[in-house]
């Protein structure tokens, strides 16, 4: 392992060349030289020097993240721990897009109870970032849409579940008074969407609704609980998976919009690199994901996950209004 990588990672961790030098037991000048050599090799600055220390550039941050993972993998490989317990060490999981993080909560609960020596490293982002991280080996397994990974022969896929999404609104919404709302009725209201639409099949639906509208207004909110907060307190609409619509929490506050054909389905998969043997932890996670979805265990977990939103709503009601 190139010692310069460890020194650069230490600078990023401590925000200081002198503290990094102490941590890796070399001189400050040696660390400064190592970072300068790396920056020349890479062709971009890793750090920005300020009066308070150093901070990574955007490119430098990505480089340091990869370097940290390489160092951790090397240490794990040389320690021999995996030979005695294949379910120890790091398991790097990616969720793409971020909107799907809720699907991992219950499986993780089962996974860490069953294999307590696993060290989890979980990241999320756009579908494009998911493909990139899996290609680079920066995640051991990527959870996401079949459409994002399925057309790439270099990935091996394990089917997890199919999600089916529909438009939902708050209880008492004006659209619920219409027997069969059409696109022109729906287009009068704002839409709450995640930062990245989770599947291309949503685009025709949005085009059908808003194609002829003079003005289109979208809220961009990644977190589903926060989406619920906006929808519950306005006339905005959002997309919801059918698994969530079956919870008491949803049914007491929201309703699926009927009439216009707005349901869309998409497959969820776990993707790994075809040419690499997956870690034992990957196999365990895939097995748990498949079982949790097949047995409908997500419903109770969704209820618990949305409890934070319910508490926030109660707290808001208790706040006195100033007039």
Tell me what percent of the residues of the chain surpass a pLDDT of 70.
82
> 34-43, 87-96, 220-229 — which one is most confidently predicted on average?
34-43
pLDDT value of position 142: 95
- Spell out the residues 6+ positions from residue 80 whose beta carbon is closer than 8 angstroms to its own: none
Calculate Rg over the CA atoms of the chain.
24
- How sure is the predictor about 234, in pLDDT bands with cuts at 50, 70 and 90? very high
Judged against a pLDDT cut of 60, whether residue 214 lies above it is answered with no
pLDDT at 278 over 50: yes
Is pLDDT of 215 > 60?
A: no
The per-residue pLDDT for 232 is: 95
Residue 83: pLDDT over 70: no
The per-residue b/e assignment along 109-131, b for 16 or more CB within 10 angstroms, e otherwise, is ebbeeebeebeebebbbebebbb
For residue 97, cis peptide bond before it (omega within 30 degrees of 0)? yes
At residue 322, the pLDDT reads 45
Say whether pLDDT at 319 is over 70: no
List, in order of start, the domains of the chain with CATH numbers.
Answer: 3-74 (1.10.10.10), 92-323 (3.40.190.290)
The two counts, helices (H) then strands (E), for the chain are 16, 11
Report percent pLDDT > 90 for the chain.
34
Residues ≥6 apart with Cβ < 8 Å to 114: 284, 288
Specify the pLDDT at position 255.
Answer: 95
Cβ neighbours for 299, distance < 8 A, ≥ 6 positions apart: 243, 246, 247
pLDDT exceeds cutoff 80 at 197 = no
Element (H, E) at 274: none
pLDDT exceeds cutoff 60 at 316 = no
- Reported as half-sphere exposure (CB side, CA atoms, 13 A), residue 26 has a value of 17
Q: What is the mean pLDDT of residues 134-152?
A: 87
Q: Say which range, 123-132, 262-271, 311-320, has the weakest mean pLDDT.
A: 311-320
Res 80: pLDDT: 64
Least confident of 66-70, 190-194, 198-202: 198-202
Task: Indicate the pLDDT class of residue 297, thresholds 50, 70 and 90.
Answer: low
- pLDDT band, very low/low/confident/very high, at 300 (cuts 50, 70, 90): very low
For residue 102, what are its two tokens?
A: 């809720």
Instruction: Read off the pLDDT of residues 86-105 as tens digits, 9 standing for 90 and up.
Output: 888 889 999 988 878 878 88
Tell me if the pTM is above 0.75. no
């Amino acid at each position: 392992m190139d010692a310069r990588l460890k020194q650069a990672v230490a600078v990023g961790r401590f925000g200081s060349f002198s503290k990094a030098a102490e941590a890796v037991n070399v001189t400050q000048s040696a660390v400064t030289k190592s970072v300068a050599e790396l920056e020349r090799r890479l062709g971009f600055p890793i750090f920005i020097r300020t009066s308070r220390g150093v901070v990574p550039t955007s490119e430098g941050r990505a480089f340091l993240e990869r370097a940290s993972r390489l160092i951790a993998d090397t240490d794990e490989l040389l320690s021999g721990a995996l030979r005695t317990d294949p379910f120890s060490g790091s398991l790097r999981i990616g969720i793409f897009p971020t909107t799907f993080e809720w699907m991992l909560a219950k499986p993780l609960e089962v996974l860490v109870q069953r294999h307590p020596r696993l060290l989890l490293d979980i990241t999320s982002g756009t579908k494009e970032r998911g493909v990139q991280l899996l290609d680079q080996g920066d995640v051991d397994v990527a959870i996401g849409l079949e459409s994002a990974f399925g057309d790439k022969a270099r990935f091996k896929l394990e089917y997890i579940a199919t999600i089916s999404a529909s438009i939902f609104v708050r209880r008492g919404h004006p659209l619920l008074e219409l027997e069969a709302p059409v696109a022109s009725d729906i287009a009068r209201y704002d839409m709450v969407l995640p930062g990245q639409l989770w599947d291309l099949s949503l685009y025709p639906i949005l085009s059908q609704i808003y194609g002829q509208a003079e003005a289109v207004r979208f809220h961009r909110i990644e977190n589903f609980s926060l989406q619920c907060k906006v929808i519950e307190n306005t006339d905005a609409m959002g997309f919801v998976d059918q698994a969530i619509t079956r919870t008491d929490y949803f049914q007491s506050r929201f309703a699926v919009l009927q009439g216009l054909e707005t349901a869309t389905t998409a497959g969820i998969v776990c993707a790994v690199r075809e040419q690499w043997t997956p870690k034992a932890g990957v196999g365990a996670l895939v097995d748990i994901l498949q079982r949790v979805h097949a047995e409908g265990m997500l419903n109770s977990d969704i209820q618990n996950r949305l409890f934070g939103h319910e508490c926030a709503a109660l707290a808001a009601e208790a706040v006195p209004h100033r007039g």
